[in-house]
Structure 1
Amino acid sequence: MSSSPPPGWYRDPSYPLTERWWDGSAWTDHRRQPEQPVPLPTQPRPPKRPGRTKLIALAATGAVLIAGAVTGGVLVLGGDGDGGQE
């Protein structure tokens, strides 16, 4: 004894974009387009905060720039190396 699927709409193997009615013992000539699931409404997401790695990289870059500016200022303004004596 073989069990067949219950009556209902199933994908038509001959036409995969349609569904065909199975009456429990044989296919009928009734076909339809498959019902599409209704998409859920999307909610706006809050903007992402920068990750910890990004903050560390920005802080390190800022420190390097400040150190470079200080070093450059020292070399340009008083870089003769005599300690301020004439």
Structure 2
Amino acid sequence: MTPPPGWYRDPSAPHQERWWDGTAWTEHRRAPEPVGYGPAVGAAGPGPRTGTGGRGKAVALTAAAAVLVAAIVTGVFVLGEDDGGSPRTRTPPVTETATGPA
């Protein structure tokens, strides 16, 4: 009886896992996940996580969040008030007044 399809310790590289399709080993390999995390052995097929261990998506999201925060902080400094926080007021133009007998 053969084992069901799933991720198993690679017989040629014990530090990696390899996908068993139910009849033969495929070329899909990945780093083993820590015990207690992720799907059980044989639960999920090879997919976009192959070779990254799922960490690639987390790194991309963290980088995107850092760029967003940097853009917000830059916007605050560039668009913020530069006169000590007081609102801008317009003073009326100075005009000459005529002096003379009324």
Instruction: Pick the TM interval, shorter chain.
Output: 0.3 to 0.5
- TM-score, scaled relative to structure 1: 0.40
Larger RCO (CA under 8 A, 6+ residues apart): 2
- TM-score, scaled relative to structure 2: 0.34
